[in-house]
Amino acid sequence: MMTEKEQQYILQKGSKYMKRDEFWDFAMKLREKNKKYKVMKKELGEIWAELNILSRTEAILTSRAGDIDDFLK
């Protein structure tokens, strides 16, 4: 039963193992994707850090603006 399924798979998709050249191409593409992922993850982390700083700054300025309005009255 299992060998029949493997035979059908080989006929449809080819060998179930990659050839050496196919593997090296796959590995190279995977390295490129991983490198791109790490760069994008770093950029996203920097954006989140900036967002946190700006949110905190906004909260501080908003709290001070209320006090200034009372002072000016």
Q: Mind listing the pLDDT tens digit for each residue in 18-56?
A: 788 989 999 999 999 999 999 999 999 999 999 999 999
Query: Is residue 31 included in any domain, yes or no?
Result: yes
pLDDT at residue 71 in the model: 64
Query: Is residue 12 included in any domain, yes or no?
Result: no
Q: Specify the higher pLDDT residue, 25 or 71.
A: 25
Query: Is residue 11 included in any domain, yes or no?
Result: no
Query: Is residue 15 included in any domain, yes or no?
Result: no
- Cα 8 from chain centre: 37
The boundaries of the domain holding residue 28 are 20-72
Query: Is residue 60 included in any domain, yes or no?
Result: yes
Query: Is residue 4 included in any domain, yes or no?
Result: no
Arithmetic mean of pLDDT, 3-7: 81
Query: Is residue 44 included in any domain, yes or no?
Result: yes
Domain count, the chain: 1
Q: Specify the higher pLDDT residue, 5 or 40.
A: 40
Query: Is residue 10 included in any domain, yes or no?
Result: no
| Cα separation, 27 vs 35, whole angstroms | 12
pLDDT at residue 49 in the model: 98
Q: DSSP of the chain, one letter per residue? A: -HHHHHHHHHHHH--SS--HHHHHHHHHHHHHHHHHHHHHHHHHHHHHHHHHHHHHHHHHHHHHHHHHHHHH-
